[in-house]
């Protein structure tokens, strides 16, 4: 296979094969799934997810998804479990075992041990008639007709189905727990995603200097204030009340009209009724205001009093965009 057309053809066939299998999962959902979700939700313990081979890799991802959405979960490798790691399982834990065939040697050894402990066992398997499928308290069917692999051997479609079933489980639990964006932020404090959920306007404005002039400030001093504070803008205040804003764009437009600026003041060229945002608003909301109004700076206020400036560059630097 050397031609680009052939490569693209194989890629498309792979995607369509997996997409078809995923769409079919909806038809395989039954009472077992609903009862499995309720069992996890009502449990006082954690979720222990186990598997072997590629199923183990899928298990680790489902664990990560559950942990990040309010359901404590731990990964336990099926091979390690029968060599000492069974101690991971506590009395109130729910165990999810993932296996395409449900008949691998490690699974056949592990399942009776879990059953002896008395823990609720949920199976995610493509073979509901397998050893695992028969022994589990609840069986989630992830049957696929074929793997995307041309030899129908390498786990591809089957592992994708396992992953999607795990996501469905996690999202249902998220809904039951009333898990909000605020809760999500607690578990995702780092990176751009976390910042969108917790970074506030005040956090950004506090990074900047606070340019300010009065309506009677001469234009040369206005230019100096904008230049020194390096935000391309200054608020115009009258007894702490914001009455306008002067941007570097206002300065350029003024110079295009007249070079005689000796008698001009901030009040002569300022824009009235500038856009503002509360200091405790989310930074991502400030980004929305900037984009909606096609501006680069926004004045932050606290109880109607000028607080500072939020600049587009601040939000870019913080990864909000």
Could you list the residues known to form a binding site for substrate, using ranges.
77, 83, 216, 268
What DSSP assignment string belongs to 16-72?
HHHHHHHHHHHHH--HHHHHHHHHHHH-SS-EEEEE-THHHHHHHHHHHHHHHTT--
Binding residues: 77, 83, 216, 268
Quick check: 166 and 142 in contact, CB under 8 A? no
| Cβ atoms 144, 137 nearer than 8 A | no
Burial of 207 from C-beta contacts in 10 A (0-12 / 13-18 / 19+): middle
Alpha helical stretches, state H, the chain: 4-28, 31-42, 54-68, 78-81, 105-117, 131-135, 157-177, 181-187, 191-198, 201-205, 219-229, 248-257, 266-269, 283-293, 312-317
Cα 316 to Cα 204: distance, rounded to the nearest angstrom: 11
The answer to whether the beta carbons of residues 222 and 266 sit under 8 Å apart is: yes
Binding residues for Zn(2+): 77
Cβ 48 vs Cβ 93: under 8 Å: yes
Which SS3 state, helix, strand or coil, does residue 313 take? helix
CB 131 within 8 A of CB 102: yes
Q: Closest Cα to residue 124, out of 208, 232, 51?
A: 51
DSSP 138: E
CB 97 within 8 A of CB 50: yes
Cα distance between residue 95 and residue 47, in whole Å: 6
Task: Note whether 125 and 33 are within 8 A (CB).
Answer: no
């Amino acid at each position: 296979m050397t031609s680009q057309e052939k490569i693209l053809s194989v890629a498309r066939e792979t995607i369509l094969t997996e997409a078809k299998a995923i769409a079919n999962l909806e038809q395989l959902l039954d009472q077992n799934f609903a009862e499995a979700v309720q069992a996890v939700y009502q449990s006082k313990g954690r979720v222990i997810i186990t598997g072997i081979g590629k199923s183990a890799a899928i298990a680790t991802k489902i664990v990560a998804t559950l942990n990040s959405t309010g359901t404590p979960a731990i990964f336990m490798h099926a091979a390690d479990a029968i060599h000492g790691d069974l101690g991971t399982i506590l009395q109130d834990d729910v165990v999810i075992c993932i296996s395409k065939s449900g008949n691998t040697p490690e699974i056949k050894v592990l399942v009776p041990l879990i059953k002896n402990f008395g823990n609720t066992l949920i199976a995610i398997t493509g073979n509901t008639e397998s050893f695992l499928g028969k022994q589990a308290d609840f069986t989630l069917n992830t049957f696929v007709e074929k793997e995307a692999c041309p030899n129908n051997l390498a786990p591809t479609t089957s592992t994708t189905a396992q992953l999607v079933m795990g996501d469905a489980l996690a999202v249902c639990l998220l809904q039951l727990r009333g898990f909000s964006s605020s809760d999500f932020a607690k578990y995702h404090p780092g990176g751009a995603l976390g910042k969108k959920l917790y970074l506030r306007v005040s956090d950004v404005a506090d990074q900047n200097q606070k340019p300010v002039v009065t309506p009677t400030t001469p234009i040369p001093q206005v230019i100096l204030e904008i230049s020194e504070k390096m935000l391309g803008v200054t608020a115009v205040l009258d007894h702490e009340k914001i009455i306008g804003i002067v941007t570097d764009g206002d300065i350029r437009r003024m110079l295009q009209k007249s070079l005689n600026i000796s008698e001009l003041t901030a009040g002569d060229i300022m824009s009235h009724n500038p856009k503002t945002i509360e200091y405790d608003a989310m930074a991502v909301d400030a980004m929305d205001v900037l984009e909606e109004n096609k501006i680069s700076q926004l004045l932050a206020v606290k109880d109607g009093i000028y607080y500072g400036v939020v600049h587009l560059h601040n939000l870019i630097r913080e990864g909000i965009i």
